């Protein structure tokens, strides 16, 4: 089955603003989202939460749920264009309008957008975010189910909190969150740890257009956040009306995709983000070790600490490998483009040598300076070799990470089996 493209993921997220009907099936191109099994409306929820839940069950009866968390809106439009009553309700404790006038959070951030910068404070966790978490955990309560999450704007904030507070994060398959403020600093230590682990595993993706005024608090991808932060290589949304421009920019108006549906993103600080997450995870591990050390470690505590350390290291190595591959791929593309330009230039006679040198003579001079066609080909060969080596290393690191995950699952399963057997013997 073909993988989803970035563009198709964005289109799936856009469906949260559509009027989806209970019991009806929906898909994006050939990809089936599923059949709507719940329409969670703000009209029946005092927190104002709007969301859809779709189920794409497989032939074995396993449920693959998709939750679409809607932004503050009246369907087709987001908060900037929504009617006043709904905006007041949604923004009562939840989003930018209130956050701009509060100072309850411990850390402020610079906002990049509208060609300026100003300080705002991260939003406190709202009742609506807690309702979003409750909705996710309702479907994770089914042991034969997994869940994919989408959210935009306020829906992104709700999605960030929901995955950080998921009752079984191992069954959160993926999360795609767009243009929402960063709520990381308002999470509890336990929730931050879970968010970091989901980010380390590559489960959560957080998309930020810095030309949009809403998704503040990311420090161009350097701040701690829920999910891997992708800074969009965006354009200014096209519109004649300033009010429409703000809304259009916020509603994915600056996103660009290539012919294959791949989203154009800036070369972000992924390595920095990986290092920061690893450091925070190791600090949390040290804290757990300190807490457990009083009176000595039990076998269960030793097992948990070993699992945490193995997971942190394996996921860190895997992410470093992925970052390196992404970096060399971008370098490879840039170098190839520039070398192709140079290759053309080696056959062209400069304006000041017109009538004096022929194109073959120009090529010969370039060759003497080690920038002839063969030299360019040699450079591309070397770069290709680096790329191949990094891809092989990345594959090995991902395989190692998967093997460690499988081993941890096996150990936990055996441990549970032994515990159940011991309990049964005790009862007898």
Split the chain (428 residues) into runs of 10 and give each run's mean pLDDT. 88 96 96 96 92 93 95 52 40 40 35 36 74 97 95 96 96 96 93 88 92 90 88 89 83 94 79 72 76 75 79 76 75 77 76 78 70 71 83 83 80 76 74
Q: Residue 119 is encoded by which pair of tokens? A: 């300080």
Residues 96 and 135 in one domain: yes
Q: What share of the chain is helix, strand, coil (3-state, %, to 5)?
A: 50, 15, 35
CA separation, residue 384 to residues 82, 327, 374, 380 (Å) = 51, 13, 15, 6
Q: What value, to the nearest 5°, has the Cα angle with vertex 198 and ends 193 and 204?
A: 130
In-domain check, residue 273: no
Write the Ramachandran bin of 26: left for phi over 0, alpha for psi from -120 to 50, otherwise beta: beta
What pLDDT is attached to residue 368?
Answer: 67
In-domain check, residue 278: no
Residues 196 and 302 in one domain: no
How far apart are alpha carbons 119 and 208 in whole angstroms? 17
Residues 42 and 191 in one domain: yes
- The residue behind tokens 């989202």 is 33
Structural domain boundaries, residue 20: 6-268
CA torsion angle 279 282 287 289 (round to 10): -170
In-domain check, residue 366: yes
In-domain check, residue 281: no
- The residue behind tokens 């959560």 is 204
What pLDDT is attached to residue 23?
Answer: 96
In-domain check, residue 138: yes
In-domain check, residue 279: no
Number of domains in the chain: 2
């Amino acid at each position: 089955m073909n993988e989803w493209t970035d563009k198709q993921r964005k289109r799936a997220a856009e469906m949260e603003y559509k009027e989806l009907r209970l019991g009806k099936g929906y898909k994006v191109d050939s990809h089936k989202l599923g059949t709507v099994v719940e329409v969670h409306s703000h009209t029946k929820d005092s927190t104002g939460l709007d969301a859809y839940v779709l189920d794409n069950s497989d032939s074995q009866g396993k449920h693959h749920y998709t939750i679409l968390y809607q932004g503050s809106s009246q369907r087709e439009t987001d908060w900037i264009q929504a009617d006043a009553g709904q905006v007041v309700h949604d923004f009562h404790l939840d989003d930018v309008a209130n956050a701009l006038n509060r100072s309850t959070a411990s850390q402020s951030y610079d906002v990049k957008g509208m060609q300026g910068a100003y300080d705002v404070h991260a939003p406190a966790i709202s009742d609506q975010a807690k309702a979003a978490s409750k909705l996710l955990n309702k479907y994770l309560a089914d042991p034969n189910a997994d869940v994919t999450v989408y959210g935009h704007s306020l829906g992104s904030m709700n999605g960030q909190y929901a995955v950080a507070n998921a009752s079984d994060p191992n069954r959160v398959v993926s999360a795609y969150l767009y243009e929402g403020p960063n709520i990381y600093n308002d999470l509890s230590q336990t929730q931050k740890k879970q968010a970091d682990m989901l980010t380390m595993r590559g489960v959560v993706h957080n998309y930020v257009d810095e030309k949009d005024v809403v998704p503040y608090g990311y420090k161009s991808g350097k701040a701690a956040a829920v999910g891997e932060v992708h800074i969009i290589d965006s354009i200014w949304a096209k519109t004649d009306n300033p009010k429409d421009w703000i809304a259009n920019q916020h509603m994915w108006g600056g996103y660009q995709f290539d012919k294959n549906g791949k989203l154009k993103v800036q070369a972000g600080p992924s390595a920095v983000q990986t290092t920061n997450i690893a450091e925070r995870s190791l600090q949390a591990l040290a804290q757990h070790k300190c807490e457990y050390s009083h009176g000595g470690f039990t076998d269960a505590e030793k097992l948990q600490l070993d699992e945490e350390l193995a997971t942190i290291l394996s996921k860190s190595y895997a992410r470093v490998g992925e970052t390196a591959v992404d970096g060399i791929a971008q370098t490879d593309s840039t170098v190839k483009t520039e070398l192709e330009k140079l290759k053309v230039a080696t056959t062209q006679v400069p304006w000041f040598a017109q009538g004096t040198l022929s194109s073959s003579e120009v090529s010969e001079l370039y060759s003497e300076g080690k920038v002839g066609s063969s030299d360019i080909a040699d450079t591309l060969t070397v770069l290709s070799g680096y790329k191949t080596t990094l891809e092989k290393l990345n594959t090995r690191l991902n395989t190692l990470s998967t093997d460690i995950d499988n081993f941890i699952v096996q150990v936990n399963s055996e441990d549970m089996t032994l515990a159940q057997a011991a309990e049964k013997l005790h009862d007898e």
